[in-house]
Amino acid sequence: MSDATASADRTLRTGPGRLLVAVYGVFALAATARGGYQLATRFDEAPLAYGLSLLAGIIYLVAAVGLARAGRTSRGVAFVSCAVELVGVLTVGVTSLLAPGAFPDDTVWSNFGSGYLFVPLVLPVLGLWWILRVHRMDHR
């Protein structure tokens, strides 16, 4: 591993990266616990919505670990999971507005994450921006 790569790895998980990992960690916990609990207790009511919450939680977890580990591979993993989140929150957001019946119960991503102060919408954008920034530093 070259010195430049090593310093980029440190950069990804220090500074703003550390805050991102903390926020991702909290959201991973919130979404996974919520989805898991709802699937375990009320599976019949809205399996799609609850499954989606659980899936979102797992993706947040992957992103958090990817950002925290910050190797070249981890950076790629974090990048992909942030991208999936962004697509997910946009898709589910539009769907929940156009076809409210699709999700009888709210998920983390319903209405673009309005139940969570729109953090789910902003978070992947910040994550992608941060990873790309560090990536560019790496290649300078």
State which residue, 18 or 72, has the beta carbon closest to another protein.
18
Give the count of alpha carbons within 13 A of 110, CB side only. 17
The DSSP line for 31-53 is HHHHHHHHHHHHTTT-HHHHHHH
* Structural tokens at position 56: 């979102």
Site for another protein in 11-40 (CB under 8 A): 14-16, 18-19, 22-23, 26, 29, 33, 37
Write down the least CB distance from residue 22 to another protein, Å. 5
CA distance 39 to 33: 10
Write down the least CB distance from residue 131 to another protein, Å. 16
When asked if residue 42 is in the footprint of another protein (CB under 8 A), the reply is: no
Local structure of residue 105 (DSSP, 8 states): S
State which residue, 16 or 71, has the beta carbon closest to another protein.
16
Is 41 in contact with 105 (CB distance < 8 Å)? no
Residues that bind another protein (CB under 8 A): 14-16, 18-19, 22-23, 26, 29, 33, 37
